[in-house]
Structure 1
Amino acid sequence: MTGRTIQGQNSPRRGVKQDRFTRVDESRKVAYEVLRAVSADDAYANLVLPKLLRARKLNGRDAAFATELAYGVLRGQGTYDALLATLVDRPLADLDAGVVDVLRMGLHQLLAMRVPDHAAVATSVALARNVLGGGPAGLVNAVLRKASGRDLDQWLAEVAPGDSDDDLAVRYSHPQWVLRSLREALRAHGHDPAELEDLLRADNTPAHVALAALPGLASPDDLVGRDAHLEIGTGRWAPTAAHVVHGDPGKLAAVRTGRARVQDEGSQVVALVLAAADVEGRDERWLDLCAGPGGKAALLAATAAGRGATLTAVEVAGHRAELVRQALSAVPGLADVRVGDGREVGTDEPGAYDRVLVDAPCTGLGALRRRPEARWRRTPADLGSLAPLQRELLASALDAVRPGGVVAYATCSPVLSETRLVVDDAVKAAAKRGVEVERLDTPAVLERVVPGMPSAAAGAAVQLWPHTHGTDAMHVALLRRVS
């Protein structure tokens, strides 16, 4: 780790004008409002931030600054709170939550962004005075002036000097239970647990924006290029993927018209692996059992349309079902979007489908690059509370698929209790119901989709990793109902 770069984060360069910094700029206001919404309202940063950027008409460097400041604080919260515990003469819980957010913002600018120290302190004080009042502004000034005397490496040498889980949790800003779950996931899926620090660094590195070109509507070659607004390069893995080097993908015509979508390459791989699996007999009816918000459904629907098949997309929440309809709006042919409980489909339509995707609700610990607040919002209890739902959805899928058809079980989590153990239990439970299921060689199917993708095999399943593949940590296992 180098000074002024926290836990693997890469920050945009930002010049700061040399003035008295008494006026609070819109970029910092937006970042603060995002943090307050996440903390006070349980909001999601990836939903709140774009709305605020549009409302305040921020773009270019100003939007990049606000994004890095908000997301950087959410990623680095564990580290910054450990530092604040040594800088503040009272428990952080005794401080107003808004004061803590301003202090975290100041630390991120001081220790992980290329903002001059005097500017980081003065603008934080101005922000505190603007939103909280004069008393809190004095506290912010005193604490940040004390923090500015050292760089990040020097502070970490004091608060996290060793290699214990306590120290790793502070250094890489992950709760200890998440850190331990990820270490066990590496081991369980055939990786060296010593890769943990690389994985934690990757979680703290902002994800590149990837695009999925929907088959039959666009190709990656249609997207790749450079103009005044953005630059797009080729994807790394998925044959449908392109990579946004810089710029707003919403300015791309193919994205505006729904022929291409913003979608992580790992998610694209999951949909393409299901589409590439061999089924026995007909191949006409496909099902996405948990379809919202619609990224994988769009890729599956476009692929199905090219083969003369149709997709049924089921989503339990009405507002998310509407997002699925929007995602499928450009796909030709009939796609049936339903509001319903995926756990009931197997009973209502037994043996009706040829391919079924179960993209199960999970803790999202494989997407911490994109949703950094999840690491603080989730608890170990979530692993237990989601387990019955994951098993019930997979059981429904195995009942809904016909003999000879294929089910893909996918999660955006590498954690064993959300991946292999769910599949193991579902296969055993199906056998008790008289449904015989075989595990397919998912890595072999992946090889047909993405030849030469390294270190992705996890037994009969596939496990992707941020530090190895540059994708979210998607897990996918293919199962066939035996005729």
Structure 2
Amino acid sequence: MAADLPRTAALEVLRAVRSSDAYTNLALPAALRRHGLSGRDAAFATELASGTIRRQGLYDAVLAACIDRPLAKVQARVLDALRLGTHQLLAMRVPPHAAIATTVSLVRSDVGPGAAGFANAVLRRVTEHDLDAWVELVAPDPADDRHGYLSVAHAHPRWVVDELARALGERAAPELEALLAADNEAPGVTLVARPGRSTRDELPGEQTRWSPYGVHLESGDPGSVPAVADGRAGVQDEGSQLVALALSAASVDGRDERWLDLCAGPGGKAALLAAIASGRGAGLVANERQVHRARLVAGALRGSSGVLGLVVADGTRPPYPAGSFDRVLVDAPCTGLGALRRRPEARWRRQPGDLRTLVPLQRALLSSALDLVRAGGVVLYATCSPVLAETAEVVSSVLGERHDVTLEDAAALLPGVPDCDGPLPGTFQLWPHRHRTDAMFGALLRRQ
């Protein structure tokens, strides 16, 4: 039986993520184009690749129960295919015979007949139970270890479950499982109309609840939307739109002419801010340290009239005079644990030790931004992570070192957004399970 193109494309994505540290959201479109997939075939390949990567931890636990040797001893190329087959058997509406036959065919053509026979035997063992039964068999007893159970059942590393519970605080008990389940849902595509360049009436789909510029694309390729193809609109989660809107809505004392996005890559927030700034007679400087990300920013800003410049520079040692900006956005590099719906590989790639590197960088970037904003101006510190070490603790640490800064009420800048209070008074925290957005955190600081 010949291996079909959607499954071949999905397998290529898994291998790129595993062996080359590729990002699913970048590897997947490339694989779809390479195999000429569209419509239902593209949707099938997308769910197969993304769903398998999201639930990899759970599927590995199932496969470990079906194989008589450690998974580390299984050839990596075979294990990738077994994960794809397991996802089809346990979480997709694929008949078992089709899931097994196509997976075996992939292994036979890629590795050989011996490995194909092994894959056939393993997947037949997987069919002995459904997903819920497998969870009960391979996960800890929730009465003894609730976080351990949720870690396996919802395919999140244990340390991530612990950090998300800390971030939820007193609401962890009733909401933690809903948050983990939301992380495993396939995200929709949200578009943003860049004001002054397009309107959301031009964009197909249902209007977003809180951003006045967004729509949820119901189906199809966003690149086929004329405003997106022209750069007058873009793809951007509503949570990211709200971050840019919060900074633009804050009051400043005196002039309001020069805005800065200190960590601008890949450019979505910079493009929205530049469009808003242009409508007010202001302009934006986009700063990005990494050259390849700066190229993405340049693409996002193409055609915008509200751009004062694009600079490749380290945000912790910026080439700008102190006090030279009226508004500054610090969308800091972070673990990305607030965007696990969109970046399914992040949960398996990130490690607790990453915080030891990221947190000092986040503090340095926020301190730098506060030096760059003038008295009476504002800085919005944002992360796509709800982890307290990256949110409340960074802000509290910087505030404790400076006497020229006050923490303002950023949550008030998101009128109508319910239940978004953050871990510090005045900060905001969005959540996938509450707001159907990425888990964006925001804190507004004013230079005195």
Matched to 2:419, the amino acid is: S
Matched, 1:355 2:327: yes
Give 2:209's aligned residue.
236
Partner of 2:405: 437
Distance in structure 2 (CA, Å) of the matches to 1:410 and 1:333: 22
1:381 counterpart residue number = 353
Query: What does residue 455 of structure 1 align with?
Result: 419
SS at 2:323's partner residue? coil
Task: Tell me by how many angstroms 1:52 deviates.
Answer: 1.3
- TM-score w.r.t. the length of structure 2 is 0.97
Partner of 1:36: 15
Is the contact made by 1:328 and 1:335 (CA closer than 8 Å) also made in structure 2? no
Q: Is the 8 A contact 2:239 2:437 kept in 1?
A: yes
Question: Residues 440, 66 of structure 1: CA spacing in aligned structure 2 closer, same or farther, 3 A cutoff?
Answer: same
Question: Would you say 1:406 and 2:372 are equivalent positions?
Answer: no
Paired residue total = 443
Which of 216, 225, 230 is 1:252 aligned to? Answer: 225
Q: Confirm whether residue 139 of structure 1 aligns to residue 118 of structure 2.
A: yes
Mapped to 1, the partners of 2:72 and 2:46 lie a distance apart of: 26
The corresponding residue for 1:266 is: 239
Go from structure 1 to structure 2 and tell me whether the alpha carbon gap of 1:371 and 1:333 turns closer, same or farther (over 3 Å shift): closer
Give yes or no for the alignment of 1:100 onto 2:79.
yes
Structure 1 moving runs of 4+ over 3 Å: 190-193
State the distance in 1 between where 2:303 and 2:215 align: 19
Q: Which amino acid is 2:129 matched to?
A: R
Offset of residue 161 of structure 1: 6.0
Paired with 1:83 and 1:56, the residues of 2 have a C-alpha distance of 30
Three-state SS of the structure 1 residue aligned to 2:281 is coil
| Partner residue of 1:157 out of 127, 136, 160 | 136
Whether the 8 Å CA contact 1:202–1:467 is kept in 2: the answer is: yes
Contact (CA 8 Å) 1:215, 1:303: kept in 2 or not? yes
Could you tell which deviates more after superposition, 281-290 or 232-241?
232-241
Question: In the alignment, what sits opposite 2:193?
Answer: 213
What amino acid maps onto 2:186 in structure 1? Answer: P
Of 40-49 and 195-204, more deviation after overlay is shown by: 40-49
The CA deviation string for residues 151-190 of structure 1, in whole angstroms up to 9 with x for no partner, is 1112112122632222211100000000000000011xx6
**2:162 match:** 180
Does residue 167 of the first structure (1) align with residue 149 of the second (2)?
yes
**2:32 pairs with 1:53:** yes
For the residue of structure 1 that corresponds to 2:218, the secondary structure is strand
- Deviation of 1:207 after TM superposition, in Å, equals 0.9
Contact kept? 1:302, 1:332, Cα under 8 Å: yes
Corresponding residue for residue 337 of structure 1: 310
Q: What is the distance in 1 between the residues matched to 2:239 and 2:344?
A: 18
Query: In 2, distance between residues paired with 1:142 and 1:160?
Result: 23
Q: Specify the code of the residue in structure 1 equivalent to 2:108.
A: R
Matched, 1:479 2:416: no
In the aligned structure 1, how far is the partner of 2:25 from the partner of 2:284?
Answer: 28
AA at the equivalent of 1:248? D
In the alignment, which of 297, 303, 316 is matched to residue 324 of structure 1? Answer: 297
> Gaps spanning 5+ residues in structure 2: where?
none
Change (3 A) 1:192 1:85: closer
Q: Please, which runs of 5 or more residues in structure 1 have no aligned partner?
A: 1-21, 225-231
Distance 1:341 1:333 in 2: 22
Q: Secondary structure at the match of 2:155?
A: coil
Residue of structure 2 equivalent to 1:18: none
The one-letter amino acid paired with 2:418 is P
Residue 355 of structure 2: SS of its match in structure 1?
Answer: helix
Alpha carbons 1:398, 1:430 under 8 Å: kept = no
Instruction: Write the letter of the residue equivalent to 1:442.
Output: A
Q: Aligned partners of 2:327, 2:256: CA distance in 1, in Å?
A: 8
* SS in structure 2 of the partner of residue 380 of structure 1: coil
Matches within 5 A, 1:189-228: 191-224=171-204
Letter in 1 for 2:155: S
**1:350-395 deviation line (CA, Å, top 9, x unaligned):** 0000000000000000000000100000000011111111000000
Letter in 2 for 1:121: I
Q: How does 1:415-434 map to 2 (within 5 A)?
A: 415-431=387-403
Residue 330 (structure 1) shift: 2.3
Aligned counterparts, 1:266-285, within 5 A = 266-285=239-258
How far apart are the structure 2 equivalents of 1:131 and 1:167? 35
What CA distance in whole angstroms lies between the structure 1 residues aligned with 2:89 and 2:34?
Answer: 28
Does the 8 Å CA contact 1:238/1:268 hold for their aligned counterparts?
A: yes
The alpha-carbon deviation at position 192 of structure 1 amounts to 4.1
Kept after mapping to 2: 8 A contact 1:234/1:242: yes
TM-score (norm 1): 0.90
**Match among 45, 61, 65 for residue 44 of structure 2:** 65
**Counterpart secondary structure, 1:344:** coil
CA deviation after TM superposition for structure 1 residue 246, in Å: 1.1
The aligned residue for residue 10 of structure 1 is none
Distance 2:402 2:270 in 1: 26
Distance 1:104 1:74 in 2: 8
Residues in 2 aligned to 1:75 and 1:335: alpha-carbon distance in whole angstroms: 40
User: Quick one: distance in 2 between partners of 1:88 and 1:404?
Assistant: 64
In 2: Cα distance, 1:221 partner to 1:252 partner: 12
Which deviates the most, 131-140 or 270-279? Answer: 131-140
Cα offset for 1:193? 3.6
Between the aligned partners of 2:251 and 2:111, the Cα distance in structure 1 is 61
Structure 1 window deviating more from structure 2 (88-97 vs 159-168): it is 159-168
Question: Given that residues 140 and 148 in structure 2 are in contact (C-alpha distance below 8 angstroms), is that contact kept between their aligned partners in structure 1?
Answer: no
Residues 10 and 45 in structure 2, CA contact (< 8 A), matched pair in contact too: yes
| Alignment partner of 1:369 is 2:341 | yes
SS in 2 for 1:38: helix
Q: CA deviation at 1:191?
A: 3.5
Checking the alignment, whether the CA contact within 8 Å between 2:301 and 2:307 is kept in structure 1 is no
> Which residue is 1:14 aligned to?
none
